Structure 1
């Protein structure tokens, strides 16, 4: 009886002590985290207040926090209230481990895939396992063909000579201010559609932009990316699902954007199929390759097209938008690029309005200037994976099963330990050897095109397109930024867009 009484009386005492024990546990965890990243963690809710306060500037804020961490890896842990946990790193050793060494333990994961599924489906950039592998193999075959490289050069040439240069000439003649970000997005959209799907939207022409829903599609694509990132930034994993179920903002707008995107892409596939059946289409474009590689549903083909449009339009346009903004404040760099372009032109004695692949390959300083701008403003600022099993990163950081583990290329660019004391400066020379020849860096130090098995297949195609645009434009024109003082704001969408666009005055270059 005495034993029963003691046990019975101990139960309420334990219940009273339980909250205190939990509080002590969370304070112990708080001290661990605060010592590593300097963030104050609160009982139960962990570091949640910091993320809520800075969710509109997550890229810059997380880069600042990561720079103060001895290991350059920060935690976020909201699991005390049943939410999320994870880590953001800017440590090259961690990037190599996540992207290559222990690749199998860090897939996109169910959370990432589900957040983007209504937008990108299960295309190459939003899939894992066999679903990702077959798309990777089919795409790799295409990207390694010399015929693709030649077609990219000719497609970019047509778009630049027949559309971009005349557009800039009209703007210069009429004294108009152009949103160069919008111009670059339309240029890149025309290109990827021609190269990948044998479709020419002609968006760089006013007639083309207003036809077949192109403008609506472009707007929907931008909107969908912003809303997807809002889903990622929410500390409550399932909050967006509730909003979607209740059809409230921003999920109502997302449904409308996705409907517009799917309708547009389905039309591309339908018209491409009709031209193919009539023998009026190329047979070596990406869409034909995917169609011929096996039986694929309309939904599967739609995912393929949407993923390639996003990659082909948004990454190169984002990179060049920040490049032209940086260049507007760096006249010495611009002069060096122009001199190199003129030297290559004189050497080749070409009278073509555009440049050949061999001519572009000789432009080492231009290659370095574009590479340096992407270092500071990476088109994909943060890439996220999911940890499948408890693990320890090379810097000693523990990551648990189900944690979101991200590496921030934006933060890496701002670390002196990686890039030196001048890491915040725009200095193309850091990419050149003593002979002025371009010298690449490890993809784990410079993960702009990702790294490991998921390394971007379109890297060479992207450089061809970007160098061709810059060389053609700067040979004839210069840009003057008219957007005010200071750096433009960042739009944290799937790619790093410029808030408010890039307003530029076009000036004809004097020779």
Structure 2
């Protein structure tokens, strides 16, 4: 995740600098920065450019990385503090694997998300993280959990998503497809994590209490990273006002709701001689991890991870399909070829669809940048010096746009770059990129546990939706969605579409 650690300190209180700020805004356009053009002043560093590009920080930092010969940029902030941004695969491997022990989530990340996530796996470092990773890894690597996930996804698809799309097609109505996919993902992850159905994807599109509280808690927690200084939100929390008051109420509701489910599940498991529930909560409790705070933290972390990542990936995927109808035709051919296979085999053999999803996430990774904190002094493989306490951000969004990694045709949406055709059979096989060139699911010891679950869900949605419908964005001529990111990527303002029923295909 991109820690908004680039944000400036409260130098605006230093009145003489206001003149320089406003003259800079008037004379320089932030639309196309380069590393050599990055302005750095005494005391304030590059804070003026940071502020000027605040609303397009992902795109701006991507441009900086792409303009750098080493694909690494050091940005100077207020009072000499520095942050490192990199799209260099050697540096990414160094951070995420070779010197993993030296790059932690760090205090900034932990403090900003502590009220919401507590000590959960995505907010933890050291032995606490290692213990949770071992427990979670064991539970994820079971056939019964995979089968349970398949069942949950298929039920949500056939009972809720498809009927809503069918109704929209019949009525020629406009849907916010981003919202629909988020609701779909939220129902799924709650069933998988808690064994609880929030029923967020119903025809009425309800404001389910738990879902709304969870959304508020995630959004306000992410806004802490955008605060000019941590003291601002800490003071608001101390005084119990504004967004921090709303965050306290939302977090309280989420955690109390989660603990009630945990208590009910504990009581339920007492009366069972064997485990017939396969949600993650039941698995954690049955394996002896009964501490309410521990289980609450870890399950809420998994809901956060599964709630927006797959829906974000699918939102941008359907947009790219609209722009590339030849790719959509290829996927439709594959879907029709596999339609007679069992669900698991259908998903497993959807090679071209898998490649298309990977290509889509190259352009629009659900987590566009992720930041770590150096435990001690270090030097990255490209020679960049890192001091203890510095934030180091690797940038999948920028990396997907680097010509040296993807070739001169990198701007093209071309799933074939992930495929290799057998000269004898003519069949495609998938060729993965190394995770340090394509760190969309992280890499090294923290590589995403839910990667296979995410692909299973996405391919089932793609097959289920495209088999029956065409998703047609409602855009102005030449209109392009705006990529924006908080904890995860989104389309700014949603993704309005019309659903068109396909003619029957033999």
TM-score, normalised relative to structure 2: 0.87
Gap change, CA 1:246 and 1:363, over 3 Å in 2: same
Q: Report SS of the residue matched to 1:385.
A: strand
CA separation in 1, counterparts of 2:231 and 2:55?
19
- Is contact 1:123-1:300 (8 Å) kept? yes
Is the 2:219–2:486 contact (alpha carbons within 8 Å) kept by the matching residues of 1?
yes
Q: Does 1:447 align with 2:428?
A: no
Structure 1 residues 54 and 227 mapped into 2: Cα distance closer, same or farther (>3 Å)? farther
1:374 to 346, 352, 361: 361
Q: Is the 8 A contact 1:164 1:187 kept in 2?
A: yes
- Which structure: larger Rg? 1
In 2, Cα distance between the equivalents of 1:205 and 1:389? 50
User: Does the CA-based 8 Å contact 1:478-1:506 persist in structure 2?
Assistant: yes
Aligned to 2:375: 388
Deviates more, 1:51-60 or 1:227-236: 227-236
Counterpart contact for 1:138–1:289, Cα < 8 Å: no
SS in 2 for 1:448: coil
Give the equivalent residue in structure 2 for 1:224: 217
Structure 1 261/278 Cα, relative in aligned 2: closer, same or farther at 3 Å? same
Q: 1:249 to 1:426 in 2, by over 3 A?
A: farther
In the alignment of these two chains, the number of paired residues is 465
Contact 2:315-2:495 within 8 A present in 1 as well = yes
Structure-2 separation of matches of 1:248 and 1:55: 25
* 8 Å CA contact retained: 1:45, 1:78: yes
Of 227, 241, 261, the residue aligned with 1:268 is 261
Spell out, residue by residue over 1:239-285, the C-alpha distance to the aligned partner (whole angstroms, 9 max, x if none): 32233223444333333332333233233323333433454984443
Alignment-derived partner of residue 151 in structure 1 = 148
Determine whether 1:491 maps to 2:506: no
Whether the 8 Å CA contact 2:374–2:389 is kept in 1: the answer is: yes
Structure 2 residue aligned with 1:191 = 188
User: Retained in 2: the 8 A contact 1:86–1:403?
Assistant: yes
Aligned equivalent of 2:332: 338
Out of 357, 361, 380, the residue aligned to residue 348 of structure 2 is 361
> The residue matched to 2:440 in structure 1 has which SS?
helix
Q: How much does 1:185 deviate?
A: 1.2
Pairing 1:458–2:457 present: no
Alignment correspondent of 1:48: 47
Structure-to-structure mapping, 1:133-282, within 5 angstroms: 133-206=130-203, 210=206, 215-234=208-227, 236-279=229-272, 282=276
Secondary structure in structure 1 of the residue aligned to 2:429: coil
Query: Quick one: distance in 1 between partners of 2:267 and 2:197?
Result: 15
Change (3 A) 1:409 1:37: farther
Runs ≥4 in structure 1, deviation > 6 angstroms? none
Q: Counterpart of 2:16?
A: none
Structure 1 residues 172, 72: CA separation in 2 closer, same or farther (over 3 Å shift)?
same
- Distance, in Å, in 1 between the alignment partners of 2:218 and 2:303 is 13
Indicate the SS of the match to 1:202: coil
1:501 to 488, 494, 497: 494
Checking the alignment, whether the CA contact within 8 Å between 2:105 and 2:371 is kept in structure 1 is yes
Say whether the 8 Å CA contact 2:144–2:278 is kept in structure 1: no
Higher deviation after alignment, 194-203 or 409-418:
194-203
Q: Which residue of 2 aligns with 1:24?
A: none
Give CA deviations for 1:304-329 in whole Å, capped at 9, x if unaligned. 12111111221111110111111122
How far apart in 2 are the matches of 1:232 and 1:297? 30
Q: Secondary structure at the match of 1:87?
A: strand
- Indicate the larger mover: 67-76 or 455-464: 67-76
Would you say the 8 A contact 1:198–1:281 is kept in 2?
Answer: no
Q: Secondary structure at the match of 2:83?
A: strand
Q: Is the 8 A contact 1:449 1:459 kept in 2?
A: yes
Cα distance, 1:235 vs. partner?
A: 5.2
- Of stretches 333-342 and 231-240 in structure 1, the one that deviates more from structure 2 is 231-240
| Structure 1 pair 393–42 and aligned structure 2 pair: CA distance change class (3 A) | same
In 2, are the aligned partners of 1:120 and 1:126 still within 8 Å (CA)?
A: yes
- 1:447 match: secondary structure: coil
Q: Distance in 1 between matches of 2:399 and 2:181?
A: 26
Runs of at least 5 residues in structure 1 that lack an aligned partner in the other structure: 1-33
Aligned to 2:73: 74
Q: CA–CA distance in 2 between the matches of 1:509 and 1:392? A: 56
Cα gap change, 1:400/1:155 in structure 2, threshold over 3 Å: closer, same or farther?
Answer: same
- Report the Cα offset of residue 122 of structure 1: 1.1
Deviation, 1:437, is 1.4
Q: CA offsets, 1:161-190, max 9 Å, x none?
A: 122111111111111111111111111112
User: CA–CA distance in 2 between the matches of 1:399 and 1:96?
Assistant: 15
Partner residue, 1:420: 407
- Aligned-partner Cα distance in 2 for 1:426–1:297: 47
Structure with the higher helix share, 1 or 2: 1
- Indicate which of 86, 93, 96 corresponds to 2:90: 93
Q: Is the 8 A contact 1:163 1:204 kept in 2?
A: yes
1:323 aligns with 2:317: yes
Inter-partner Cα distance in structure 1 for 2:211 and 2:302: 14
For the 8 Å contact 1:94–1:395, the answer to whether it is kept is yes
Q: Does the Cα contact within 8 Å between 1:66 and 1:90 map onto a contact in 2?
A: yes
